Amino acid sequence: MRRFEDRVAVVTGGAHGIGRASALRLAEEGARVAVLDVNEAGAHETAELIGDAAVAIACDVADAASVAEAFDRVRDRFGTVDVLHSNAGVLLPGSAEDGAPEEWDRTFAVNVRGMYLAARAVLPTMLAQGRGAIVNTASTSGIAAEPGLAAYCASKAAVIQLTRQLAVDYSRRGVRVNCVCPGWIDTGFNDPVLEGVGDEELAEAIDRMVPLGRQGAPEEIAAVVAFLASDDASLVTGHALVADGGLTAL
C-alpha cells in the first residue's frame, strides 16, 4: 500500500519502540517522515533506517520553544505536514502516596502538554491546507487503572479526552484527531515497571491477563496508527482505538 504517497508525516518519540515502528511504517507507505525525539542519536538511527525520505530533529515535546523550532524545521525541509503521530511519552511508576510530585509534573509535561504543544504547532498548517490527521498515543492505562501508576494512568486518560476535544474543534475544518490505546507492547518503554520481574514471570502474567496470550509488537501498533492516519479512516475522528490483545475485555 502507498497510502501516504506525496505526504509528510511527523512522529514524536520516534527514536525507538512504537514511534520508530510507526515512522518506518509510514515511510514504507510513501510518506516523507520527520523523526522527532529528545534522544537525538536514536532519532538519527530511525531516520537512517528510512533513508533519504527522512530527517531527524532533536525535540523536547515538553518545551514550547523546542516544539515550535522543530516544526519550523519540518516545514522548511518538506513544506507542509499531513500527518502527526504524537507518540512521545514517559512512564514513571508511583502511587499518589509514594510518587514524587516532580515525577507527576514530568509525566504530565511530556505525556499531555507535549501532545498539546505538538497539535498546536501543526494545526495552522493542516487548517490552511484543509486536511490533516493527528494520531496520539494513549494507553489502556487511560481506560482501566493500574496499581502504582497514578501519574501515568491520569495522563493517558487526559490524552484520550484531549483527543476527543481536538476532534470536536477541528474535524469540520478537515483535521481528524484520534488516539491509539496500546496494551502490553514488547518494548523497553515498560522497563520502569518490570524491574525485578523475570522473563518467565512476565510471560505467565501476560498469559493470565491477555486473551491473545502474548504481548503486542510495535509493528502491530504502527499498523493501527497508519490506518487512523490514512484516508481509509476518513469517517473516524475523536476515537480511542484499543489495540491490547483483549486485555481490557476481561
Q: Residue 182 phi/psi, 5° resolution?
A: -70, 150
Query: Catalytic: which of 4, 71, 108, 152?
Result: 152
Query: In the annotation, is 152 catalytic?
Result: yes
List 243's β-bridge partners, or say none.
182
**Residue 125 CA, distance from chain mean position:** 20
Residue 237 C-alpha cell reads as: 475522528
CA distance 171 to 221: 23
**Burial bucket for residue 68 (CB in 10 Å: 0-12, 13-18, 19+):** middle
List 55's β-bridge partners, or say none.
34
**Burial bucket for residue 234 (CB in 10 Å: 0-12, 13-18, 19+):** exposed
**Burial bucket for residue 90 (CB in 10 Å: 0-12, 13-18, 19+):** buried
Which residues does 127 contact at the CB level (< 8 Å), separation at least 6? 170, 173, 174, 175
Q: Which residue has the cell 493500574?
A: 146
- Please identify every residue annotated as catalytic: 152
